[in-house]
Amino acid sequence: MRAKAKRGMSRYLKTKGSSAFKIQITSMVDMFVLLLIFLLMNYSTDKYIITASKNVNLPESISDMSSDSDKVVNVIVGRKGIYLEDEQIIEFQNEARLPASSIDEKDSSFLPKLFETMDQVAEKVKAENPEVTDKNFDGRVLIQADRTLPYDLIRKVMYTSMMAGFSDVRLAVVGK
Protein backbone atom coordinates (compact mmCIF):
# COMPACT_ATOMS: atom_id res chain seq x y z
CA MET A 1 0.00 0.00 0.00
CA ARG A 2 2.78 2.37 0.85
CA ALA A 3 4.50 1.65 -2.42
CA LYS A 4 1.38 2.66 -4.35
CA ALA A 5 1.09 5.86 -2.35
CA LYS A 6 4.76 6.67 -3.06
CA ARG A 7 4.28 6.12 -6.78
CA GLY A 8 1.15 8.28 -6.81
CA MET A 9 2.94 11.01 -4.88
CA SER A 10 5.97 10.92 -7.16
CA ARG A 11 3.67 11.24 -10.21
CA TYR A 12 1.93 14.20 -8.53
CA LEU A 13 5.24 15.93 -7.84
CA LYS A 14 6.45 15.38 -11.41
CA THR A 15 3.31 16.95 -12.90
CA LYS A 16 3.28 19.76 -10.32
CA GLY A 17 6.71 20.95 -11.42
CA SER A 18 5.55 21.36 -15.01
CA SER A 19 2.34 23.27 -14.50
CA ALA A 20 -0.49 22.69 -16.94
CA PHE A 21 -1.66 26.31 -16.46
CA LYS A 22 0.04 28.83 -18.76
CA ILE A 23 -0.61 32.58 -18.79
CA GLN A 24 -2.32 33.75 -21.94
CA ILE A 25 -1.11 37.31 -22.53
CA THR A 26 -2.35 37.64 -26.11
CA SER A 27 -5.62 39.26 -25.11
CA MET A 28 -3.84 41.54 -22.64
CA VAL A 29 -1.41 42.68 -25.35
CA ASP A 30 -4.36 43.34 -27.65
CA MET A 31 -6.00 45.44 -24.97
CA PHE A 32 -2.85 47.54 -24.45
CA VAL A 33 -2.37 48.01 -28.21
CA LEU A 34 -5.96 49.29 -28.52
CA LEU A 35 -5.46 51.60 -25.55
CA LEU A 36 -2.22 52.92 -27.07
CA ILE A 37 -3.88 53.53 -30.44
CA PHE A 38 -6.76 55.35 -28.74
CA LEU A 39 -4.40 57.61 -26.80
CA LEU A 40 -2.28 58.37 -29.87
CA MET A 41 -5.34 59.24 -31.95
CA ASN A 42 -6.57 61.69 -29.29
CA TYR A 43 -3.23 63.42 -28.78
CA SER A 44 -1.97 66.15 -31.03
CA THR A 45 0.93 68.58 -30.87
CA ASP A 46 -0.54 71.50 -32.83
CA LYS A 47 -0.53 74.81 -30.98
CA TYR A 48 -2.51 77.99 -31.32
CA ILE A 49 -0.57 81.01 -32.41
CA ILE A 50 -2.36 83.94 -30.87
CA THR A 51 -1.51 87.50 -30.04
CA ALA A 52 -2.67 88.40 -26.59
CA SER A 53 -4.60 91.60 -26.12
CA LYS A 54 -2.71 94.51 -24.54
CA ASN A 55 -4.95 94.68 -21.49
CA VAL A 56 -4.91 90.92 -20.81
CA ASN A 57 -2.28 89.28 -18.63
CA LEU A 58 -2.67 85.54 -19.40
CA PRO A 59 -2.05 82.90 -16.72
CA GLU A 60 0.93 80.55 -17.02
CA SER A 61 0.67 76.81 -17.56
CA ILE A 62 2.79 73.83 -18.53
CA SER A 63 -0.09 72.08 -20.30
CA ASP A 64 -0.25 71.63 -24.05
CA MET A 65 -3.12 72.84 -26.24
CA SER A 66 -4.09 71.40 -29.59
CA SER A 67 -6.57 72.11 -32.37
CA ASP A 68 -7.06 74.04 -35.60
CA SER A 69 -6.37 77.72 -35.03
CA ASP A 70 -8.08 78.70 -38.30
CA LYS A 71 -11.58 77.83 -37.12
CA VAL A 72 -11.44 79.37 -33.66
CA VAL A 73 -13.45 82.33 -32.40
CA ASN A 74 -11.41 84.49 -30.02
CA VAL A 75 -13.17 85.88 -26.96
CA ILE A 76 -11.06 88.28 -24.93
CA VAL A 77 -12.03 88.96 -21.33
CA GLY A 78 -9.92 91.90 -20.24
CA ARG A 79 -10.07 94.27 -17.30
CA LYS A 80 -12.15 96.78 -19.29
CA GLY A 81 -14.65 94.48 -20.99
CA ILE A 82 -15.48 91.43 -23.09
CA TYR A 83 -14.44 91.44 -26.74
CA LEU A 84 -15.28 89.10 -29.60
CA GLU A 85 -12.26 89.20 -31.89
CA ASP A 86 -11.63 92.99 -31.91
CA GLU A 87 -15.18 94.19 -31.26
CA GLN A 88 -16.17 95.17 -27.72
CA ILE A 89 -19.35 93.37 -26.69
CA ILE A 90 -19.70 94.28 -23.02
CA GLU A 91 -18.01 97.15 -21.23
CA PHE A 92 -17.32 96.73 -17.53
CA GLN A 93 -18.52 99.39 -15.07
CA ASN A 94 -15.54 99.11 -12.79
CA GLU A 95 -12.58 96.81 -13.09
CA ALA A 96 -14.06 93.37 -13.91
CA ARG A 97 -17.62 94.25 -12.87
CA LEU A 98 -20.41 93.27 -15.24
CA PRO A 99 -23.15 95.88 -15.52
CA ALA A 100 -26.50 94.57 -14.30
CA SER A 101 -28.00 95.18 -17.75
CA SER A 102 -25.62 92.65 -19.32
CA ILE A 103 -26.81 89.74 -17.13
CA ASP A 104 -30.04 87.85 -17.85
CA GLU A 105 -32.71 88.31 -15.16
CA LYS A 106 -33.74 84.64 -15.14
CA ASP A 107 -30.29 83.07 -15.47
CA SER A 108 -27.47 84.88 -13.66
CA SER A 109 -24.80 82.96 -15.62
CA PHE A 110 -26.15 84.02 -19.03
CA LEU A 111 -24.90 87.09 -20.92
CA PRO A 112 -27.51 87.84 -23.64
CA LYS A 113 -25.45 90.40 -25.58
CA LEU A 114 -22.49 88.00 -25.86
CA PHE A 115 -24.87 85.19 -26.81
CA GLU A 116 -26.46 87.22 -29.63
CA THR A 117 -23.07 88.13 -31.08
CA MET A 118 -21.72 84.58 -30.86
CA ASP A 119 -24.96 83.20 -32.30
CA GLN A 120 -24.52 85.54 -35.30
CA VAL A 121 -20.97 84.22 -35.76
CA ALA A 122 -22.26 80.64 -35.62
CA GLU A 123 -24.98 81.41 -38.19
CA LYS A 124 -22.37 83.04 -40.43
CA VAL A 125 -20.18 79.92 -40.27
CA LYS A 126 -23.17 77.72 -41.07
CA ALA A 127 -24.15 79.95 -44.00
CA GLU A 128 -20.60 79.88 -45.43
CA ASN A 129 -20.39 76.08 -45.12
CA PRO A 130 -23.56 74.36 -46.35
CA GLU A 131 -22.40 70.97 -45.00
CA VAL A 132 -22.40 72.39 -41.46
CA THR A 133 -25.75 72.12 -39.69
CA ASP A 134 -26.95 72.63 -36.14
CA LYS A 135 -26.29 68.97 -35.39
CA ASN A 136 -22.70 68.77 -36.63
CA PHE A 137 -21.56 72.30 -35.76
CA ASP A 138 -18.52 71.97 -33.52
CA GLY A 139 -17.89 75.58 -32.62
CA ARG A 140 -14.49 76.27 -31.15
CA VAL A 141 -13.88 79.26 -28.94
CA LEU A 142 -10.60 80.37 -27.41
CA ILE A 143 -11.02 82.52 -24.32
CA GLN A 144 -8.18 84.86 -23.44
CA ALA A 145 -8.88 85.92 -19.87
CA ASP A 146 -6.77 88.08 -17.61
CA ARG A 147 -5.35 86.13 -14.70
CA THR A 148 -6.62 88.68 -12.16
CA LEU A 149 -10.27 88.25 -13.15
CA PRO A 150 -12.61 86.25 -10.91
CA TYR A 151 -13.43 82.75 -12.08
CA ASP A 152 -17.16 83.45 -11.84
CA LEU A 153 -16.88 85.98 -14.68
CA ILE A 154 -14.92 83.54 -16.88
CA ARG A 155 -17.44 80.80 -16.08
CA LYS A 156 -20.27 83.06 -17.29
CA VAL A 157 -18.43 83.67 -20.57
CA MET A 158 -17.82 79.92 -20.99
CA TYR A 159 -21.46 79.11 -20.21
CA THR A 160 -22.78 81.68 -22.66
CA SER A 161 -20.39 80.46 -25.36
CA MET A 162 -21.62 76.92 -24.92
CA MET A 163 -25.24 78.06 -25.07
CA ALA A 164 -24.47 79.74 -28.42
CA GLY A 165 -23.30 76.39 -29.83
CA PHE A 166 -19.57 76.69 -29.21
CA SER A 167 -19.08 73.45 -27.32
CA ASP A 168 -15.29 73.28 -27.66
CA VAL A 169 -14.21 75.94 -25.15
CA ARG A 170 -10.48 76.45 -24.52
CA LEU A 171 -8.66 78.85 -22.22
CA ALA A 172 -5.52 80.55 -23.50
CA VAL A 173 -2.44 80.42 -21.28
CA VAL A 174 1.20 81.37 -21.59
CA GLY A 175 3.62 78.43 -21.56
CA LYS A 176 6.32 78.39 -18.92
Per the CB < 8 A criterion, the answer to whether 66 and 47 are in contact is yes
So what's the pLDDT on residue 68?
Answer: 46
Question: Per residue in 25-79, pLDDT tens?
Answer: 777 788 888 888 888 877 655 555 556 666 676 666 555 555 444 578 889 898 8
Question: 54-57: long-range contacts (C-beta < 8 A, 24 or more apart)?
Answer: 55/79, 55/80, 55/146, 56/144, 56/145, 56/146, 57/146, 57/147, 57/148
So what's the pLDDT on residue 2?
Answer: 60
Could you give the C-alpha distances from 133 to 26, 102, 112, in angstroms and in order? 44, 29, 23
Mean pLDDT for 132-145 is 81
So what's the pLDDT on residue 146?
Answer: 85
Mean pLDDT of the chain: 77
pTM (two decimals) = 0.61
Which domains can be identified in the chain, with CATH numbers? 2-41 (no CATH), 60-175 (3.30.420)
